[in-house]
Structure 1
Amino acid sequence: MGTKKFIIFFCWLACAMGHEFYSSTDLMANLITKEEELVQSFGDYIEAVEVHLLKLRSVLLVLQILKLSGRPDLEMSDPLAAYKLMRRLREEWATIAEYTKLSPFQEYQDLLEYELQQIPGKNDLDEAAVGIIRLQEIYKLYPQNITTDHLTGTTVHLNLDQTYHLGKVAYTLGSYQHAFLWFLQCLSKIKEHKDADILKQLLFEYLGSSAYLFGNLPYEIYFTQQRVNLDPTNLEARLDLVSLKGQRSAHISNPDILTLNETSKSTYEALCRGEAVKMKSRRKRQLTCRYSTVGGNPKLMYAPVKEEEEWDKPPFMRYHDVISETEIEHLKNCSRPRLQRSEVNSKDSPVSFNRVSQSAGLTEEDPVVFRVIQRLSDITGMDMESADSLEVSNYGIGGHFGPHYDTGKRDESSDGYRIATILIYLSDVGVGGATVFPNIGASLKPQKGTAVMWYNLLQNGQVDEQSLHAGCPVFRGSKWIATKWIRERGQEFRRRCALSETE
């Protein structure tokens, strides 16, 4: 494989690997393919270097032969012999210089350095670790729950550095119980490390500090004692131990740091775990599903939409089979090259850890997008002329969208507030990823090919507090959605205003 082929390959690879692709679960899966390609290219590079070395060795052999056969005696040389030596040095070593310039080393090194800027960096690894800690907090997961697939039973083995990194991230986030549990895992992996004693001191300090900040004094005392036992000359640890022992009489509560609390004060977190749903079985039996023509829409007379009531007050409607498999793949493929970190409407920063996903807007110039949007208009009865562009999103490791309202204006020229939200599920999700409504206790699970609609405003134009919703973190699988926000303009006769303060 020649130098030019290397350059072509890496230029292609540079285009294919967009920045921050690892923040998306779907695009992150491409890392496996990219790694295989990088390994293959590295092997090709080594072969090219070996071929190049063979050429250099052949040149060296020729020079050695010339040197042995035509070496002048400098003490008895004449001008012609001197000239021949100078000529040979000039011509042969100029040739060698040209050969060395043909080496694929520099091109490969330059391109590889560029590629390293396109693959996950430290900040991206930290963000992935934050996602893992978020999953632990919301779904109440121990380290072994994260590292073991509950369906297959297979275990993902983390080395000492990886386990320590997760503990540090949890500690920085103030998630001291999870930090403690990850650091505890580190102790079991430290035996064969060459700097075991140094690392033990560091871990004992972090374990003690995590326990203390969590509120568990006995474990802080225990690990401080371990610091002293490991190094009796550690004056700081000895002083800490004396101080901590003096606090025992005044310290009353010592929460169990080894056992996760299965209950949560957050309704949002409880709903994500499948708890706190306020739809009782009797009430649920009163919900209906039907074939609907949406008030006699001629387009739906021969192919009525499958309409299902997901919630009664406020009404949430789910529409089945609104998008085909071919259309789903088209939307995903169109959005993949354009995915960027999702933004929020905020004065401080458009990028927020409250919304961790990647999104891309698609215009109606695409005939498939146009057809899907027209279908949404038909089945919901909403006018799409002033609606926002269809936004396709993919959620990464621990990707979520915390509790929020969809009513905000994007700019002064927009066509009013977002009166309604239509959410199309473009994939199923293995575990997690539900859309939940904390103020009413509702939970909507992703169901591929369906669309769900709810109103963000009451009929009197006020914000509907019950429309507060969130996208739960994805634990297993990849979550793809497409969102269409409907603006107020154009809906005046489709959803009439009400004068009542409660409607």
Structure 2
Amino acid sequence: VHDTYTKHFFVLCEVDLIMAMKELTLFVVCSWFVSITEQEFFSSVDQVSQLFNEEENLLDTFSLYIDAEEENLKKMKSLLLLLQLGSFSNPQSPEETMRDPVAAFKLLKRLRHEWVNIAKFTQQSLYQEFQTLLDYSLIPELEDINSAALGLIGLQEIYKLYPHNITKETPLSADEAYYIGLVAYEEDKFQHAFLWFLHSLNRLTDFSSTTKNDLLRFLSSSAYQFGSLPVAIYFGQKLLNLDPSNEEIKVQLGLYRLIRLQRTSNPDIFTLNTQSNNSYEALCRGEVDERTSKRQRALSCRYSTGGGNPRLMYAPVKEEELWDEPKIIRYHDVISDTEIETLKDIARPELTRSQTGWGVISDIRTSQSVFLEEVGTVARISQRIADITGLSVESAEKLHVQNYGIGGRYTPHFDTGDEVNERTATFLIYMSDVEVGGATVFTNVGVAVKPEKGSAVFWYNLHKNGELDLKTKHAGCPVLVGNKWVANKWIHEFGQEFRRPCSLSQWE
């Protein structure tokens, strides 16, 4: 009996240990869900990249949970066997058996101690909690998925890409392509919806949850909405061939044929229109560059000391003129890789969705950003900006670090908006290279500046007379391939009275 209860004791101890492991597992998983469900992912590629590690941690945690449950099941079976050995199974006369006070004590103790512990143990089983967690926790949020799909569609629109172009490196399944098509359809982007549905149809397999009927129905409807009646009729007829009894399709086909007789033109839904009058889109695609060879010959490169700044006398910066009106200058190697990683590490925990100049969240700006406190590395970088530009940063805004999202962009805008103390100049630091896309384009002068890690671009937003320079309208092109990090320093008017004196001329 002593050996039996000794074994019983160790079994319970092992069960407690397993419970502790399971509770820790659930704590880790719950912490993971709680920490990210309130976070937005699509607007920052860096935040999305963090999900790879999180998913790996979740898989490891889930594996530990399964192992713990399997081990727990073994222990429960052993415990059941021990309890069966120590109990009185189906006595013929319970009253007769309970005449023995020791037997009565054993029964009371067993029911009070062992079985109460077992009841607690089974009630604390984490299966239901874990299953509920997996069923109802959305990671990421649905908005992230839809916005990511819109980001891909936006890349198609700007760079005139077909689904097979954009999925060349990372193929999508039929179901994934179908989902993007649905998002495009809901946004009334019917040509892109059609192309994604067609891509999905070509990738359909026996394992796809998307059906051929669904795809044919949306292909026909997308073509009709786009105005391509012959294509709408073609796919509608294919759907009717699969489902001859579908009266709704018969009515639609009749309507399509009637409308076709009244139409004089049918746009080509299979071919994207590569012609665009939008200078922003054309610059992003590299189709426009106003820098003629004659004008470029007037531009120069030099070593600059920031107007004789003592800190730059023995370590001048490399200055390259990119444009003359407005004067756009690139400074090379203004920040080290170590400083860049430091800025990223400081910024990551605080990144939130970027706002426009009016303080609102909008699709025209897809990124996450944060203003950093001017201490340590940040303060040294701000001082370096002051040295290079020769301007005071006393009234400047804090260094603004920004990471772009999926298809991240910022549509054409001016860096102004403060009527009292206006942003007189912008110092834009590139903290990463971008393989494809992500250029800074000046839409009114036809200049595109490609991100170059460690360099910075500088320009004045205002003329010397304080008026807005309309030629400084600029934008961030969508990132097609890469992870774009930048840091902005917006330098304000106050403090520049003797560094950049005002002019009374309307031309300066």
TM-score with structure 2 length normalisation?
Answer: 0.89
Distance (whole Å) between structure 1 residues aligned to residue 208 and residue 156 of structure 2: 31
Shift of the 44–462 alpha-carbon distance from structure 1 to 2, 3 Å rule, reads: same
Contact 1:400/1:473 (8 A) holds in 2? yes
- 2:299 paired with 1:287: yes
Superposition deviation, residue 292 in structure 1: 1.4
**Which residue number in structure 1 is paired with residue 366 of structure 2?**
356
The DSSP-based 3-state class of the residue aligned with 2:74 is helix
**Which residue number in structure 1 is paired with residue 354 of structure 2?**
342
Distance (whole Å) between structure 2 residues aligned to residue 133 and residue 24 of structure 1: 17
**Which residue number in structure 1 is paired with residue 47 of structure 2?**
27
Superposition deviation, residue 271 in structure 1: 0.4
Superposition deviation, residue 36 in structure 1: 1.2
Per-residue CA deviation, residues 325-362 of structure 1 (Å, 9 max, x unaligned), is: 1111110110011111111133xx71100000010110
- 2:99 paired with 1:77: no
The DSSP-based 3-state class of the residue aligned with 1:247 is helix
Shift of the 247–331 alpha-carbon distance from structure 1 to 2, 3 Å rule, reads: same
Q: 2:451 aligns with which of 446, 451, 456?
A: 446
Shift of the 388–74 alpha-carbon distance from structure 1 to 2, 3 Å rule, reads: same
**Which residue number in structure 2 is paired with residue 188 of structure 1?**
202
Contact 1:52/1:103 (8 A) holds in 2? no
The DSSP-based 3-state class of the residue aligned with 2:215 is helix
Contact 1:56/1:99 (8 A) holds in 2? no
What percentage of residue pairs aligned between the two structures are identical?
51
- 2:415 paired with 1:406: yes
**Which residue number in structure 2 is paired with residue 145 of structure 1?**
165
**Which residue number in structure 2 is paired with residue 218 of structure 1?**
230
Shift of the 434–194 alpha-carbon distance from structure 1 to 2, 3 Å rule, reads: closer
Moved more, 288-297 or 306-315: 288-297
The amino acid of 1:170's aligned partner reads A
The amino acid of 1:181's aligned partner reads L
**Which residue number in structure 2 is paired with residue 131 of structure 1?**
151
Per-residue CA deviation, residues 67-110 of structure 1 (Å, 9 max, x unaligned), is: 4x564222762653684545543443113124335545467567
Q: 2:315 aligns with which of 303, 307, 315?
A: 303
Name the count of aligned residue pairs.
485
TM-score with structure 1 length normalisation?
Answer: 0.90
**Which residue number in structure 1 is paired with residue 11 of structure 2?**
none
Contact 1:48/1:104 (8 A) holds in 2? no
Superposition deviation, residue 8 in structure 1: 5.9
Q: 1:313 aligns with which of 300, 306, 325?
A: 325
- 2:117 paired with 1:95: yes
Superposition deviation, residue 193 in structure 1: 5.7
- Structure 2 portions without partners, runs of 5+: 1-17
Superposition deviation, residue 488 in structure 1: 1.4
Q: 1:169 aligns with which of 183, 191, 196?
A: 183
The DSSP-based 3-state class of the residue aligned with 1:388 is coil
**Which residue number in structure 1 is paired with residue 267 of structure 2?**
255
Q: 1:229 aligns with which of 241, 253, 259?
A: 241
Superposition deviation, residue 288 in structure 1: 0.2
Q: 1:487 aligns with which of 487, 492, 508?
A: 492
Shift of the 229–13 alpha-carbon distance from structure 1 to 2, 3 Å rule, reads: closer
Moved more, 44-53 or 14-23: 14-23
The amino acid of 1:440's aligned partner reads V
- 2:171 paired with 1:157: yes
Cα RMSD between the aligned structures?
A: 2.5
The DSSP-based 3-state class of the residue aligned with 2:75 is helix
The amino acid of 1:351's aligned partner reads I
Shift of the 361–110 alpha-carbon distance from structure 1 to 2, 3 Å rule, reads: farther
Runs of 4+ in 1 over 3 A off after TM superposition: 7-18, 81-92, 101-114, 193-196
Distance (whole Å) between structure 1 residues aligned to residue 470 and residue 413 of structure 2: 10
Shift of the 90–158 alpha-carbon distance from structure 1 to 2, 3 Å rule, reads: same
**Which residue number in structure 2 is paired with residue 432 of structure 1?**
437
- Structure 1 portions without partners, runs of 5+: 150-155
Contact 2:42/2:145 (8 A) holds in 1? no
Q: 1:389 aligns with which of 398, 405, 414?
A: 398
Contact 2:409/2:477 (8 A) holds in 1? yes
The DSSP-based 3-state class of the residue aligned with 1:181 is helix
Distance (whole Å) between structure 2 residues aligned to residue 300 and residue 113 of structure 1: 60
The amino acid of 1:96's aligned partner reads I
The DSSP-based 3-state class of the residue aligned with 1:309 is strand
